[in-house]
Amino acid sequence: MRMSLFFILCTATSAFVVQPRQGFHSSSSALLAVEASRIKKAGGGIPVVDSGSLFFDPSVEGKVGDTFVRIQQGRNYLPAQATVSIPDKVELQDAQHWLEDIGVPTNFAKPTQPVTATVLGRVKLIENEAPGDIQHVVLQLPEGMHYVEGQSLSVIPPGKTMDGKPHKPRLYSIASTRYGDLLDGTTVSLCVRRAEYFDPVTGLADPDRAGVCSNFLCDLHPGDQVKVAGPVGKTMLLPEDSTKDIIMVATGTGIAPFRAFLHRLFMENTVARHMFSAKAWLVLGVPVTAGLLYSDELKVMQENAHGRLEVTYAISREMHKEYGGKLYVQDVLAQRADELLHRLDAGAIIYFCGLKGMMPGILEALEQVAVERGIDWSARMKELKANHQWHVEVY
């Protein structure tokens, strides 16, 4: 049956509009049920401040309980089969749970035999005043394809190289939790920067030297199909110990896995969120304020975290170090070296994600502050890696 689908994923600054082209076929009734008001209540997608409603639709969002009874009984609802005694002053809440025991899925599809994902929509993440173009792309995955936070997805762009060979797969860090932005466990989100080459003489973009896959993704329309493979990756996963602080250092689209982390820890109604008792610190580097990524989401996460989430920006073209010069993420770490080293000594896990050019400056800055404090940085970093406290994903 030919359908015309329409739903909106709300943000504080813009609307994510998904309106497939004529002729797009869909067999998923869940798409028809997704409305802006429901996503607001769920605190999912690109969220706004929670409305206070505890109601979730179990048939779509994986919650336990009977829909109509829940509406009537609200906070007092218990499943019919429950036989637990409730201590005084304790409230019971349903939690998303149905993808909690999937382990770490890998290679549902291999690059040599990719599967097809369908575009639900995309939205530009940065303002026009910021350099470049960064898009948030939401894809509907084939049935049975799942992933966890910190993994990556391969995208195989269409067409062939100048040699007549298929394009090689490109790996993208996943920017959503295992439940996806629509909380139904069937979607994946990517944060994609359009790779462009500008002629140094003319200053104009050269389309012949543009990034094949990133431009393909940034130009997609709802209903388009994308060949994907994966998921892959086990090095950027959240720690099993929910009492350990996590420190996330990102530049640009390197925020992708950390968006997934923070949605899981501070937005979704999961056991993982309720069990996380530590603190999280995100250090994000961008060139200009207009280029901040997911800033509205981060504000809501901080409200939900009640002081357990700190977000520090290093806006290089607008912020400066104490003694002059542009401020980068490594400068933030150096300025707060004592706190950083103390937290690492206490077992904190640190993650780095972004362009590979970020790491030399970071390593140099950390080595310098370590030497100033009489620490053998080479030995300390080996110890951190051995303890699974040091995780790097750069591209």
The residue from 154, 173, 176, 189 that is catalytic is: 173
Please tell me the distance from the alpha carbon of residue 16 to that of residue 227, in angstroms, as a whole number: 23
Give bridge partners of residue 139 from the DSSP assignment. 119, 188
Among 308, 352, 302, CA closest to 332: 352
Query: Greatest CA separation found in the chain?
Result: 75
DSSP 3-state of 190? strand
61 catalytic? Reply is no
153, containing H or E segment:
strand 152-156
Write the CB contacts of 96 (distance below 8 Å, at least 6 apart in sequence). 56, 61, 62, 63, 179, 183, 268, 269, 270
191 is catalytic: no
Separation CA 143–CA 313 (nearest Å): 38
**Secondary structure (3-state) at 96:** strand
Query: What is the rounded CA–CA span in Å between residue 343 and residue 338?
Result: 9
Which of 10, 213, 218, 353 is an active site residue? 353
Nearest-angstrom CA–CA distance, 96 and 62: 6
Which of 153, 163, 160 is closest to 114 using CA atoms? 153
DSSP per-residue letters across 273-316: HHH--S-EEEEEEESSGGG-SSHHHHHHHHHHHTTSEEEEEEET
Give the position of tokens 């929509």: 121
Active-site residue, 310 included:
no
Q: Rounded to an integer, what distance in angstroms lies between the CA atom of residue 362 and that of residue 327?
A: 12
Gap between the Cα atoms of 251 and 382, Å rounded: 24
Residue of 147, 172, 328, 351 with catalytic role: 172
CB 144 within 8 A of CB 215: no
Q: Which of 51, 197, 303, 395 is catalytic?
A: 395
Is 295 catalytic? The answer is no
CA distance 43 to 269: 9
Burial class (CB within 10 angstroms; exposed 0-12, middle 13-18, buried 19+) of 342: exposed
User: Residue 221: enclosing H or E segment and its boundaries?
Assistant: none
Residue with tokens 């520090």: 312
Annotated active-site positions, please?
172-173, 353, 393, 395
